[in-house]
């Protein structure tokens, strides 16, 4: 499955980037409290157009938007 243009752009977004309108949340947010000084959260999304999956992370040491290519 080809990645759609919106997901192509989404993969380049920064931490403050919002999910595009065809991305829907998958599962609940995962909250990690173990890291100092603050915990971080991860949320999975899936695109209704091209079925690509993303994980959004607030971890400063991780990519904000990670694209999982299937
Ligand atoms: Zn897409």
Furthest CA-CA distance within the chain: 40
Distance between Cα 45 and ligand 1 center (Å): 10
Q: What is the pLDDT of residues 2-61, one digit of tens each?
A: 899 999 999 999 988 999 999 999 999 999 998 677 799 999 999 999 999 999 999 887
**Cβ contact 50:7 at 8 Å:** yes
7 CA to middle of ligand 1, Å?
A: 4
The count of domains in the chain is 1
Q: What residue numbers bound the domain in which 14 lies?
A: 5-68
Neighbours of 12 (CB within 10 A): 10
> Which residues touch 8 (CB under 8 Å, ≥6 apart)?
none
Distance CA 66, CA 58 (A): 11
The alpha carbon of 24 and the centre of ligand 1 are apart by a number of angstroms equal to 10
pTM for the model stands at 0.87
């Amino acid at each position: 499955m080809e990645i759609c243009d919106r997901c192509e752009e989404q993969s380049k977004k920064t931490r403050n980037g919002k999910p595009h309108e065809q991305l829907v949340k998958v599962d609940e947010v995962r909250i990690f409290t173990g890291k100092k000084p603050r915990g971080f959260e991860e949320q999975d999304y899936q695109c209704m157009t091209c079925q690509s999956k993303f994980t959004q992370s607030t971890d400063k040491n991780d990519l904000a938007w990670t694209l999982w290519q299937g």
